[in-house]
Amino acid sequence: MHRVWRKWRGFVAWASFAALVATVALLAADPRSRVLASNTILLSCAVASASVLLAAPLAFLLVRTDVVGRKMAGVLLLALLFMPLYVQAAAWQAGFGVTGWYASAAGGPALLEGWRGAIAIHVLAAIPWVVAIVGIGLRLAEPELEEEALLDGTPGQVFRRVTIRRAANALAAAFLWVAIATAGEMTIADLFRIRTFSEQVYTEFALGDGAAPWKIVPSAIATLWIVVAGLILSNRLIPPDRFTSQRQSPVFRLGRWRALASLIMLGVVGLLLGIPIGSLMWKAGTTVTREAHGFVRSWSLDRCFQMVFGSPVRFSHEFGWSLAIASLAATAAVIIGLPLAWSARRGGYRAAPAWLTIGFLLALPGPLIGLGLVACFNVPDWPWLLRLYDHSIAAVWIAQTLHALPLCTLVLWYALRTVATDLLHSATLEGTGALRRFFRIALPQRWSAVAAAWLIALAMAWGELSASILVVPPGVTILPVRIFGLIHYGVDDQVAGVSLAITAGFFGIALVMAAVTRLASRRR
């Protein structure tokens, strides 16, 4: 696939330049589109730059050094990795929002408002993703090259001249990943009233405001540019054509700096996790009573426990539907992703379906996917589609499957690419068919990766909001939609309690994934 990309990248570059000229001309004629474009670009670039600068050193400490507690920190970041954005927004709002404990204690304005709040929450949510992507890039650096370089230079020189250069592709991929995710996400932009293209699509079209066809053109062009960026990102995330070494990468010894680096690493992870959870606990356990001299706030641990452990009962309808739909979406994503990844492992033109699927689905904004599903089901000549839309979970199931499919396919792609080629060739020479090679050889060797991909897809589907909020049928309420509506009225004790319950669930998923990975490594 990389060879195909190199062959056509000249044409893509010239086509992109022509599209850029057309985009500039269009934006020059439409002041409103200029504002939306500038807001989208500013928010995406600010979030991507800040998250890469903050998270890349953390990824190096966790993956390639001998800091203390890096395995525990990795599990904690894994839980943060799949915590839905609306839960993270609720957590940080409980601490530093308008009704958070900081504003109540300081008696001043909230820290998280407007642009400052939108950028801060996006960056905090993106740090685990950057750590994961850059960490994979650091792990894929060939140990043979580093060990050979260590014979002629110091560890610092090897890090600068070999390790960083081999991980440069991962740094670029992390920047693109965060920028695309921020540009296509409307949750935080809508919460902090930042007008972006994705937020405009959600506000004007999803809420029923009509628009002339020509007004859709700027959003369509913006989406096209995000899709191009998504295809470039997909190309950078593709498993490399070179042989993936099974040897353990050398660990950089920090020596006398080990204690300080360990404190910094554990402190950053603790802040990323401790402050939002502590803020949610404060909000869940706070009671406001009216007395003669005014309103008095009090906090109790018993009330906090009641709000957290009572949330599954209080929101049982939402929990049930969310779990059922997310499980179906995760299963569908694995079923679709397995053949895509199995075909793509051989590279070349066979990887094109997986590459295009990952690129397009990563880049398409959630509201646009939701509106596309509405258009597909709203066909007057086919009334059965309308009944399916109004009386089943088909639309929201498809929306969550499309959201979970790219990352699920990537995980399976990396896993299936490491299946021993010699073993497959031997089975082919003995007359074993393609399906038997897949089910009898590949899957038994990579069952843990399939299980991890399903759990990842479950977490991604559970947290999907941008598209699901547009296609949820009457009588069905899922947690993202319910919490998103409650957050707009301030983070109260119920939202804090259910957010803590969801956080505990994702910690459970992280522990299961860590146990599955450890069991698979022991078997190998």
Residues 34-46 pLDDT 10s: 777 778 888 888 9
Model confidence pLDDT, tens digit, residues 479-498: 888 888 877 766 677 888 88
Q: Nearest 5°: CA angle at 52, between 46 and 53? A: 90
CA distance 498 to 491: 11
Six token digits for residue 223:
């989406």
Instruction: Indicate if the pLDDT at residue 246 is higher than 70.
Output: no
pLDDT of residue 520: 61
Instruction: Indicate if the pLDDT at residue 237 is higher than 50.
Output: yes
- The predicted model scores a pTM of 0.81
Q: Which value, to the nearest 10 degrees, does the dihedral of the CA atoms of residues 40, 78, 329, 448 take?
A: 140
pLDDT of residue 18: 56
- Which range in 236-245, 393-402, 443-452, 483-492 is most confidently predicted, on average pLDDT? 393-402
| Number of neighbours of residue 181 by Cβ within 10 angstroms | 21
CA distance 435 to 450: 17
pLDDT of residue 225: 63
CA distance 487 to 207: 18
- Sign of the Cα pseudo-torsion (184, 187, 191, 192, in order): negative
- Which range in 10-14, 373-377, 414-418 is most confidently predicted, on average pLDDT? 373-377
Q: Which value, to the nearest 10 degrees, does the dihedral of the CA atoms of residues 403, 406, 410, 412 take?
A: 70
* Placement of tokens 């990952």 in the chain: 358
What's the mean pLDDT in 173-196? 84
CA distance 174 to 187: 21
What's the mean pLDDT in 391-398? 90
Instruction: Indicate if the pLDDT at residue 9 is higher than 70.
Output: no
Model confidence pLDDT, tens digit, residues 308-362: 888 888 888 888 999 999 999 999 999 999 999 888 877 777 777 888 888 778 7
* Placement of tokens 């709040």 in the chain: 117
What's the mean pLDDT in 370-385? 83
pLDDT of residue 444: 79
What single-letter DSSP state applies at residue 239?
P
Instruction: Of 50, 210, 505, 345, give the one whose Cα is nearest residue 513.
Output: 505
pLDDT of residue 213: 39
pLDDT of residue 50: 93
Three-state helix/strand/coil letters over 242-282: CCCCCCCCCCECCHHHHHHHHHHHHHHHHHHHHHHHHHHHH
- The phi-psi region of residue 422 (left if phi > 0; otherwise alpha if psi is between -120 and 50; otherwise beta) is alpha
Dihedral pair phi/psi, residue 299, rounded to 5°:
-125, 140
CA distance 287 to 299: 6
More confident residue, 254 or 29: 254
- Sign of the Cα pseudo-torsion (513, 252, 263, 92, in order): negative
Query: For 14-28, 267-281, 345-359, 488-502, which range has the lowest pLDDT when averaged over its residues?
Result: 14-28
pLDDT of residue 524: 55
pLDDT of residue 334: 94
CA distance 196 to 39: 6
- The H or E element spanning position 46 is helix 31-64
Percent of the chain with pLDDT over 70: 78
CA distance 366 to 181: 10
pLDDT of residue 212: 39
pLDDT of residue 330: 93
Using an 8 Å Cβ cutoff, are 338 and 450 in contact?
yes
CA distance 152 to 7: 37
All domains in the chain, ordered by first residue: 15-523 (1.10.3720.10)
HSE, CB side, 13 Å, CA atoms: give it for residue 499. Answer: 32
- Three-state secondary structure call for residue 472: coil
What's the mean pLDDT in 383-387? 84
Model confidence pLDDT, tens digit, residues 205-221: 555 554 433 444 555 56
Q: Is 378 exposed, middle or buried (0-12, 13-18, 19+ CB in 10 A)?
A: exposed
Residues 6 or more apart whose CB falls under 8 angstroms from that of 255 comprise: none
The DSSP annotation for 93-153 comes to: HHHHSTTSHHHHHH-S--SS-HHHHHHHHHHHHHHHHHHHHHHHHHHHS-HHHHHHHHTTS
pLDDT of residue 204: 66
Six token digits for residue 305:
């426990």
Query: For 20-24, 110-114, 381-385, which range has the lowest pLDDT when averaged over its residues?
Result: 20-24
More confident residue, 150 or 466: 466
